[in-house]
């Protein structure tokens, strides 16, 4: 498979409302299947919202895959897509919690996962940093995953490059304001020579954090090629050639959820 469609779920979760957020994901996935998406990416902590611990704590976080995640694997197989799924998970051995991206392929199999390394100690104190940086093969393409602040410095992206990654995917919850992105994604794409695909979120979090101006981005060779902004849940889609790493779309296709 050379030319593919990638869809970014630029979602506005309700903090702590897992039922609502799961339904939002289902609607988004079915739309992505309708438009023949090949890869679908969720933003960081779409299921829970960013400050979920203040509302629902952490006792509900389970070892994965649980029954719900298994049902998503079955749906992914039915829809014939690859899914990069952000979920909090409990480690089966240590009992520690992690901010994890699971990669589910077209057959419904979890083929890999990545645990966020650059955890913010105060706002993300529930999560233990990961320590493994390995590529995951999706449609015969070596992919590196960076979650939000993992892209702030070059170390993780550089390690992926040294291990043969062809592109970098960054599920994020990185909003505007004093600590807004300031060229990090473009810089990582310049340093590594790989496209950087950022799936961000929108909406607000307990009235304290506002992501409505946040951007989902595709950067390549140090330049931002595509930018998507929406105040409500939106699917941003684009086409690329996996053989050449060329971004084929001039702008995002946009669909409100």
pLDDT band, residue 177 (cuts 50/70/90): confident
Lowest mean pLDDT among 74-78, 110-114, 208-212: 208-212
What is the bridge-based pairing of β-strands 234-241 and 253-256? antiparallel
Q: What is the pLDDT of residue 206?
A: 87
How many domains does the chain divide into? Answer: 1
- The domain in which residue 164 lies consists of 3-256
Q: Please report the pLDDT score of residue 1 as a whole number.
A: 66
CA 157 to chain centre: 15
CATH for 217: 3.60.110.10
Any alpha helices (H) in the chain, and if so which ranges?
A: 18-34, 53-56, 67-79, 155-162, 184-192
- Mean pLDDT estimate for the chain: 97
The answer to whether residue 188 scores a pLDDT higher than 90 is: yes
| Averaged pLDDT, 145-171 | 98
User: What H or E segment, with its residue span, contains residue 170?
Assistant: strand 167-171
pLDDT in tens, 83-105: 999 999 999 999 999 999 999 99
Strands 204-205 and 216-220, bridge-based pairing = unpaired
pLDDT at 176: 86
> What is the β-pairing status of strands 110-115 and 97-104?
antiparallel
Residue 100, phi-psi category: left (phi > 0), alpha (psi -120 to 50), beta (remainder): beta
Q: Over the stretch 120-146, which tens digit does the pLDDT of each residue have?
A: 988 899 999 999 999 999 999 999 999
Share of the chain above pLDDT 90, in %: 94
Given a contact cutoff of 8 angstroms between Cβ atoms, the answer to whether 90 and 96 are in contact is yes
**206-253 pLDDT tens trace:** 878 899 999 999 999 999 999 999 999 999 999 999 999 999 999 999
Q: Is 232 helix (H, G, I), strand (E, B) or coil?
A: coil
Task: Name which of 107, 185, 113, 175 is nearest 144 in CA terms.
Answer: 113
């Amino acid at each position: 498979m050379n030319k593919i469609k990638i869809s970014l779920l630029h979602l506005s979760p309700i903090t702590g409302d897992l039922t609502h957020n799961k339904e939002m994901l289902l609607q988004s996935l079915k739309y992505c299947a309708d438009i023949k998406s090949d890869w679908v990416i969720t933003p960081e902590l779409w299921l829970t919202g960013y400050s979920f611990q203040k509302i629902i704590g952490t006792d509900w976080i389970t070892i994965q895959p649980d029954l719900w995640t298994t049902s998503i694997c079955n749906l992914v197989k039915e829809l014939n897509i690859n899914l990069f799924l952000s979920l909090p998970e409990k480690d089966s051995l240590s009992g520690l919690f992690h901010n994890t991206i699971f990669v589910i392929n077209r057959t419904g199999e979890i083929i890999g996962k990545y645990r966020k390394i650059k955890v913010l100690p105060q706002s993300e104190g529930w999560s233990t940093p990961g320590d493994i940086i390995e590529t995951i093969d999706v449609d015969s393409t070596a992919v590196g995953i960076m979650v939000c602040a993992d892209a702030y410095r070059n170390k993780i992206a550089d390690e992926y490059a040294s291990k043969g990654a062809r592109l970098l995917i960054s599920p994020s919850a990185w909003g505007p304001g004093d600590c807004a992105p300031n060229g990090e994604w473009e810089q990582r794409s310049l340093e590594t020579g790989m496209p950087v695909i950022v799936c961000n979120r929108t909406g607000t979090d307990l009235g304290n954090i506002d992501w409505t101006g946040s951007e989902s981005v595709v950067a390549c060779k140090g330049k931002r090629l595509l930018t998507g902004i929406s105040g409500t849940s939106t699917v941003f889609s684009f086409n690329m050639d996996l053989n050449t790493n060329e971004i084929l779309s001039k702008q995002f296709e946009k669909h409100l959820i």
